[in-house]
Amino acid sequence: MFSFEHEVSHEWQRRTALRELSQGRLRVDDACDADFLLRAAAEHHGVDSPRPCPVCGAPMREVKWVYSEKLGRRTGTARSDEEIDRLVAEVGPITVHVVEVCAACKWNHLLKEVTAVPVV
Ligand SMILES: [Zn+2]
């Protein structure tokens, strides 16, 4: 078991990006640039987002990326909650980035950074 601590939300940046997009100050190509790898990771390792895509309205996925020096080559990879559970049990606290991804228009945004810690 693990829990998330030290949450850093990026909702403000998300709102800013969407506002700039609607005002034409941010190009759609720059905001909606999820590459194949990110879209595949969201499909295979992500979960359904509670929110629709803010750009095109399609259903989105949320995918978690793990980071820690202790993970070695596994740092910077997309993981399911079950896998994060095992990684945290193995190496201790790790940083997790939660990213929302729209497969339809390629919108993607870092929602929050959290630390996954083992629950004892
Ligand atoms: Zn979209």
**What gap in Å lies between CA 56 and CA 59, rounded to an integer?**
9
The amino acid sitting at 101 is V
Summarize pLDDT for 41-80 with one digit per residue, the tens. Answer: 999 999 999 999 999 999 999 999 999 999 999 999 999 9
Distance from residue 87's CA to the centre of ligand 1 (Å):
31
Domain residue ranges of the chain, discontinuous segments joined by + = 2-118
Distance from residue 102's CA to the centre of ligand 1 (Å):
5
Distance from residue 32's CA to the centre of ligand 1 (Å):
8
Distance from residue 68's CA to the centre of ligand 1 (Å):
30
Summarize pLDDT for 15-45 with one digit per residue, the tens. Answer: 999 999 999 999 999 999 999 999 999 999 9
Distance from residue 11's CA to the centre of ligand 1 (Å):
17
- Whether 120 shows a pLDDT value over 80: the answer reads no
Distance from residue 91's CA to the centre of ligand 1 (Å):
36
Distance from residue 54's CA to the centre of ligand 1 (Å):
7
Q: How many CB atoms lie within 10 A of CB 92?
A: 12
Distance from residue 58's CA to the centre of ligand 1 (Å):
5
- Whether 13 shows a pLDDT value over 80: the answer reads yes
What DSSP string describes 39-64?
HHHHHHH-EEEEEE-TTT--EEEEEE
**What gap in Å lies between CA 113 and CA 59, rounded to an integer?**
22
Q: Mean pLDDT throughout 9-15?
A: 97
Distance from residue 73's CA to the centre of ligand 1 (Å):
31
98 HSE (CA, 13 A, CB side): 21
**What gap in Å lies between CA 71 and CA 47, rounded to an integer?**
23
